[in-house]
Amino acid sequence: MRVPNRDILIGSAVSGLIGLSSAVLLVVTGAPPPDPHEAAGVFPPWWSRGRVFAAAGEAGAVRDLGAVPFIVVVRDPEGRAPQRLRRAGALFSVSPAGTAACLN
């Protein structure tokens, strides 16, 4: 069995730390969504974009996709977007305004 190249391992570790740091920054600086009808869900970074999109679709209408593949903004007409995102697998949700730099 071949051992992965050391550069690949270091690159993966750095990428993981950047993703984790971004998530922590969003939690610290992001206020709870002021409009419960719309929220940005931060899903596990190791999920595929397809899995994230499918889970976000369970929470509401997908409004925007993040520049990083694990952030999605959804709108729920019933006003329960944060709760529905969490139930769909999001690690947490924040105001879409707090993720402006992360959106396409």
Give yes or no for residue 9 having a pLDDT over 60.
yes
Structural domain includes residue 70: yes
Domain count, the chain: 1
For 45-85, write each residue's pLDDT tens digit: 999 989 999 999 999 999 988 778 899 999 999 999 999 99
Share of the chain above pLDDT 70, in %: 71
pTM reported for the whole predicted model = 0.66
- Note down the domain range covering 72: 6-102
Structural domain includes residue 94: yes
By CB atoms closer than 10 A (0-12, 13-18, 19+), residue 86 is: middle
